[in-house]
Amino acid sequence: LYNISADDRECNEDMRLAQVVSLAAQRFLATVLNDAMQYHKMKRAAGVKAMKEAGLDPKDKRRLLRTDDLAQALQEYGVTLRNPPYYVDAKDQTAGTRPL
């Protein structure tokens, strides 16, 4: 039907494969972000005391993508987020030690 060279056919197949992979990645990201938003909404609905314990300001109405919400959402898909070994958090510091 079409007089397409082998190189053009291969390029067309590569383009289709790239489109399928990008569509699957977009779908995955959309579902993970939707799940993270649901976790954020659950924290906001938990009450003032629970929000303060989670580090949220009860008066702040912005929707933020926080790492802990994203980690919970990714955990459902088998992806675990951890801090790198060189990351120093204020909560992890012990008395008598100084950060580098």
Q: Is the pLDDT of residue 77 over 80?
A: yes
pTM exceeding 0.75: no
**CA-CA-CA-CA torsion for 35, 39, 41, 45, nearest 10 degrees?**
150
Q: How confident is the model at residue 11 (pLDDT cuts 50, 70, 90)?
A: confident
Q: Judge whether 90 and 84 are in contact, CB under 8 Å.
A: no
